[in-house]
Structure 1
Amino acid sequence: MKQLLSATLDGINAKKVEVEAAFTKGLPAFGIVGLASSSIQEAKERVKAALLTNGFSFPPLRITVSMSPSDLLKTGSHMDLAIALVIALQNENIDLEDFYVFGELGLDGRLKDTRSIFPILLSLRNQKLITKAIVPTESLEKLSMIPGITYIGVENLFEAIAVCKKEQPPREIEATPIDGETIEVGEVNYFFIKDYPEDFLDVKGQEIAKRASLIAASGMHNMLMEGSPGCGKSMIAKRLQHILPPMSLEEILQANQYALLGNEEPIFEPKRPQRSPHHSASKPSIFGGGSHHAKIGEVALANSGILFFDEFPHFSKTVLEALREPLQDYKVLISRVNSKIAYDTKFMFIAAQNPCPCGNLLSSIHTCRCSDLEIKRYKQRLSDPLLDRIDIYVQMQESSSEDKPSISSSSMHKEVIKAFIQQMKRGQKHLNGKLDEKEIEKYCILDNEAEQVLYKAVNSFGLSHRSVANVKKVSRTIADLEESKEIEKRHILEALSFRRRS
């Protein structure tokens, strides 16, 4: 046997690793070379115990296991099986060049799943480097979500050796179906769940905020809610997650890949993530970091879902200003001496804030206790470039005893799905809120009256180039909710009504 293929994570991408072994004359020893981390060096003891338990006798020779490329740092216990197989099958004439091998070994030879196997296989599949893999049986349930790979599940080392020698037929597995509802648009399946544990029927009044929430969810637009304490800002933010657009299989897989990289259990449901870091959270915890290796942060874990900042102005200035890059470029780059990693950040940003430090500036009942200087300082914590990246601004209404529920999450979700279908039928790769400049020119077509209204708004309000783009994207979503091909005057006017006034 010449070599086996395995892989290691380099940031969020997997890199192929070739594992081979040599038996040479000399004092009996067992060594691993090729820039292997301590977790792989520890594999020697697990591999020894597993091989001896399964009837393998070590020859009185020096055993050297090499992992190439030698300049790539290899980490993870998932390489145990590959190391054990190249030793156990050294004298066998077996060709496994098309197979990748993964699995952690117990001392008795039992194979175990590891958190890194799923993100590695997903990355290899996206790079079109893999078609077949030998994996632990207990990994099959989640790995079967990744299409395009033939899996051979094995319980232990003895069974893996038997499969390699073709003494035992491999287990056949079927792809695991996604739970929930399915719609097909342009030969692509999208998935969603009709489950509303927190319903918009619980939100009484706030009709403008509900309308803004529907528009924001339909196009994944960034939204800022400002209002007195207890008016329903957090209630609305929590309910938005359940009415978001359907997800493609790729989005579901990537969300679970990021969850595993964040040491969280994957949930293979078409449910977009929601992250709500506290305002005291550190910059590395939100954006990712680490002293040696770049670790994933909240903005990446929120990718394809919602990032919610409650008490928006109370976040540190460094966090607020650093937020501008992922909101604009939809990526965050973490640079360290040993690694540089870019994470996708196509999340829907939702923020909530009080109008002043005491929260009563807009109240007609309670008296504001803040001085003009305190209010000014509070407002100045949010810079104009940051606020310019928020598409929809809502000033919440004060709560009243006459407020009543008006619309359910189920009804809102139907409207969101209708708008989603309109966007996908146009051939968009991204939802309206995440369109780039070229896509805005292609998909956000205004009729003559709408063009004139927007032109007047630019001159009257001094809208920046980014603000104009945001208005077009929001009006495009409003038009999609009405199933209108072109953006009309009323769509532009409603989009302008959600612009923040300086």
Structure 2
Amino acid sequence: MKTIKSATLESLDAICVDVEATFTKGLPSFSIVGLASSSIQESKDRVKSALLTNDFKFPPKKITINLSPSDINKNGTHFDLSIALLIAMYDTKVKFDDFFIFAELALDGTLKDNSSIFPSILSLAKKIKDLNVLVPKSIEEKIAMIPNINVYSVKNLNEAIIFFNSKDKENYKVKQPKIPCDTLQINNELFFYNKKYELDFNDVKGQRLAKRAALISVSGNHNIIFEGSPGCGKSMIIKRLQYVMPPQTVEQILEKAKLDSLNLVEPNFDGSRVFRSPHHTSTKASIFGGGTKSSKIGEVALSNNGILFFDELPHFPKTILEAMREPLEDYKILISRVNSKVNYETKFLFACAMNPCPCGNLLSSTKQCRCNEMEITRYKSKLSDPFCDRIDLFVTMNEVNYDDKADLNSKKMHEIVLNTFKLQKQRGQKDLNGKLKDEDIKKYCVLDEEGENILNKATQNYSLSFRSINKVLKVARTIADIENSINIKKEHILEALSFRKR
């Protein structure tokens, strides 16, 4: 019996799979066992065609391929090459022990990529030191981005056979490419970011307060809601936040690439953050993830380390808005199904836009509001107090005037964000200010005497909850960082309080 190592993907984690083969006497047959999905069962025809096309004789024996462990469901077409190699080299003394093999076979023996190869290898790299993988030549650069693994690549089945017969395999080894973006080094750790501003804040005229709030939000990863009349620039500002986000670690860039692969999007490594904007008619399962048998990833998990944008916030079903409370508070979400339970991280910036009333003209100085008091109350009642308590910044935007001018572009804003990011990391923070844990708030959010007095008065006068107090402290910490202040001062607390929901 011969064995080749591979893996199957269960949600976000890879499970090691041994592809075993036996060749016994009996009527010629070819079977695959071990809870293999239909895509794996179909590999029998792809493997036969690839072998016969390349002048290999199919052994006239009873061939049994087993995917072990046999009690786990296996999915994916990347087992093709492993199965083909076991059959093509069944009578040669070759050991495959040191390699994990991933590749789909074309009918002519060419090796192909699929959506589960990159996430599987990335997951294995976190579990296994000095991992050796053999992958198709077409995806060698993408796989080589993963640190601390040895990547070998071949073009087709023939090359794969030559590779395992060869004693010198260094010719097939792939060098790790550099991530194509700018870098920032802090405390001997590299962070990556992009200076390309496809959408620029220079296009936003006026709205100084809204842009100030946007700067605070993106600098500390604070959740934010913009409220204003139609056309005042709410969505315009939010769509530009993606390009001025703080830098990322290598792990975060790879995590984004993994989620892109699972979402059937070709991953890039340009340092940009993810931006997700589901429509308000989206189902609850599409937002949070789900499925009848196995857990599928949703928008909330796909937004991790990026931005989740809810436009027309009150039009989202109340069940979705209330269900958002857990991922916004715990920064993770558990999707439970009969066959699987999966935890996803949800450390995203939650940005929302809404009108002040159903017709949108409540705050307008030129248009008359057509809504009655009951309609406005019903419209705003979609946002419960517990939901609003998880939002750091509430911004009411004015209408646009003809003579408004741009006073801040994305380049200048990004420079401020990079500086505040540097200050947070130099303090030893693992997370940005907006996602600090309770014990970290006491450590990093230090108030001076005046600031503490102001916060105590605000707590009494406005009946602030414990969560609200922490939100004010975290926002004030970011404002202090923007102003290059070591301690949180009175003016920083006052500005943070000005962004609380009234």
**Is the shorter-chain TM-score for this pair beyond 0.5, marking a shared fold?**
yes
Letter of the 1:128 counterpart: I
- The yes-or-no answer on 1:177 pairing with 2:178 is yes
Asked if the contact 1:46/1:105 (under 8 Å) is kept, the reply is yes
TM-score in terms of structure 1 length? 0.97
- The yes-or-no answer on 1:206 pairing with 2:237 is no
* Offset from partner CA, 1:206-252 (integer Å, 9 cap, x none): 11111101000101100011111111111111111111111111111
Q: Distance in 1 between matches of 2:259 and 2:175?
A: 24
- The yes-or-no answer on 1:291 pairing with 2:330 is no
- The yes-or-no answer on 1:62 pairing with 2:76 is no
Asked if the contact 2:129/2:148 (under 8 Å) is kept, the reply is no
Q: Distance in 1 between matches of 2:112 and 2:365?
A: 63
C-alpha displacement of 1:180: 2.0
Asked if the contact 1:46/1:107 (under 8 Å) is kept, the reply is yes
Q: Distance in 1 between matches of 2:204 and 2:310?
A: 20
Asked if the contact 1:43/1:77 (under 8 Å) is kept, the reply is yes
* 2:341 corresponding residue in structure 1: 340
1:426-465 equivalent positions in 2, closer than 5 A: 426-465=427-466
C-alpha displacement of 1:401: 2.4
Letter of the 1:344 counterpart: E
Q: Distance in 1 between matches of 2:53 and 2:200?
A: 56
* 1:392 corresponding residue in structure 2: 393
Asked if the contact 2:451/2:490 (under 8 Å) is kept, the reply is yes
* 1:119 corresponding residue in structure 2: 119
C-alpha displacement of 1:316: 0.9
* 1:44 corresponding residue in structure 2: 44
Q: Distance in 2 between matches of 1:59 and 1:86?
A: 11
Q: Distance in 2 between matches of 1:405 and 1:55?
A: 69
C-alpha displacement of 1:205: 1.3
| Structure 1: stretches of 5+ with no match in the other structure | none
Q: Distance in 2 between matches of 1:483 and 1:2?
A: 63
Name the stretch that deviates more: 172-181 or 67-76. 172-181
Asked if the contact 2:392/2:471 (under 8 Å) is kept, the reply is yes
Q: Distance in 2 between matches of 1:30 and 1:101?
A: 21
Which SS does the other structure have where 2:309 is aligned?
strand
Asked if the contact 1:162/1:168 (under 8 Å) is kept, the reply is no
Q: Distance in 2 between matches of 1:457 and 1:46?
A: 70
* 2:143 corresponding residue in structure 1: 143
* 1:412 corresponding residue in structure 2: 413
Which SS does the other structure have where 1:368 is aligned?
coil
Letter of the 2:209 counterpart: I
* 1:75 corresponding residue in structure 2: 75
* Offset from partner CA, 1:151-202 (integer Å, 9 cap, x none): 1101111111111111674423221211221110111111111122221121
* 1:29 corresponding residue in structure 2: 29
Q: Distance in 2 between matches of 1:140 and 1:213?
A: 39
Q: Distance in 2 between matches of 1:343 and 1:143?
A: 23
* 1:360 corresponding residue in structure 2: 361
* 2:85 corresponding residue in structure 1: 85
Q: Distance in 1 between matches of 2:305 and 2:285?
A: 20
Asked if the contact 2:336/2:342 (under 8 Å) is kept, the reply is yes
Name the stretch that deviates more: 440-449 or 351-360. 440-449
- The yes-or-no answer on 1:19 pairing with 2:56 is no
Asked if the contact 2:301/2:344 (under 8 Å) is kept, the reply is yes
* 2:370 corresponding residue in structure 1: 369
- The yes-or-no answer on 1:421 pairing with 2:422 is yes
Letter of the 1:342 counterpart: N
Which SS does the other structure have where 2:140 is aligned?
helix
Which SS does the other structure have where 2:360 is aligned?
coil
Q: Distance in 1 between matches of 2:430 and 2:460?
A: 32
1:479-498 equivalent positions in 2, closer than 5 A: 479-498=480-499
Which SS does the other structure have where 2:493 is aligned?
helix
C-alpha displacement of 1:441: 1.9
Name the stretch that deviates more: 247-256 or 400-409. 400-409
Which SS does the other structure have where 1:247 is aligned?
coil
Asked if the contact 1:11/1:340 (under 8 Å) is kept, the reply is no
C-alpha displacement of 1:290: 2.1
Letter of the 1:314 counterpart: H
The 1:4–1:130 alpha-carbon spacing in structure 2 relative to 1, beyond 3 Å, is farther
Letter of the 1:469 counterpart: N
TM-score in terms of structure 2 length? 0.97
* 1:159 corresponding residue in structure 2: 159
Q: Distance in 2 between matches of 1:141 and 1:241?
A: 26
* Offset from partner CA, 1:94-114 (integer Å, 9 cap, x none): 232121001011122111111
Which SS does the other structure have where 1:78 is aligned?
coil
* Offset from partner CA, 1:410-447 (integer Å, 9 cap, x none): 11110000000011111111111111112212211222
Letter of the 1:368 counterpart: C
Letter of the 1:331 counterpart: K
* 1:94 corresponding residue in structure 2: 94
* Offset from partner CA, 1:136-164 (integer Å, 9 cap, x none): 11110211111111111011111111111
Which SS does the other structure have where 1:424 is aligned?
helix
Which SS does the other structure have where 1:17 is aligned?
strand
Asked if the contact 1:109/1:156 (under 8 Å) is kept, the reply is yes
Which SS does the other structure have where 2:79 is aligned?
helix
- The yes-or-no answer on 1:302 pairing with 2:303 is yes
Runs of 4 or more consecutive aligned structure 1 residues displaced over 6 Å after TM superposition: none
Q: Distance in 1 between matches of 2:387 and 2:153?
A: 50
RMSD over aligned CA atoms reads 1.4
* 1:229 corresponding residue in structure 2: 230
Letter of the 1:17 counterpart: V
Letter of the 2:211 counterpart: K
* 2:352 corresponding residue in structure 1: 351
Which SS does the other structure have where 2:95 is aligned?
coil
Asked if the contact 1:259/1:265 (under 8 Å) is kept, the reply is yes
C-alpha displacement of 1:129: 5.6
Q: Distance in 2 between matches of 1:26 and 1:172?
A: 41
Name the stretch that deviates more: 358-367 or 98-107. 358-367
Asked if the contact 2:130/2:150 (under 8 Å) is kept, the reply is no
Which SS does the other structure have where 1:3 is aligned?
strand
Letter of the 1:48 counterpart: K
Q: Distance in 2 between matches of 1:173 and 1:61?
A: 37
* 1:268 corresponding residue in structure 2: 269
Letter of the 1:34 counterpart: G
* 2:218 corresponding residue in structure 1: 217
Q: Distance in 2 between matches of 1:399 and 1:80?
A: 59
- The yes-or-no answer on 1:6 pairing with 2:16 is no
* Offset from partner CA, 1:348-399 (integer Å, 9 cap, x none): 0111111111111122222211111111111101111111100001111222
Asked if the contact 2:480/2:489 (under 8 Å) is kept, the reply is yes
Q: Distance in 2 between matches of 1:72 and 1:255?
A: 27
Q: Distance in 2 between matches of 1:331 and 1:87?
A: 44
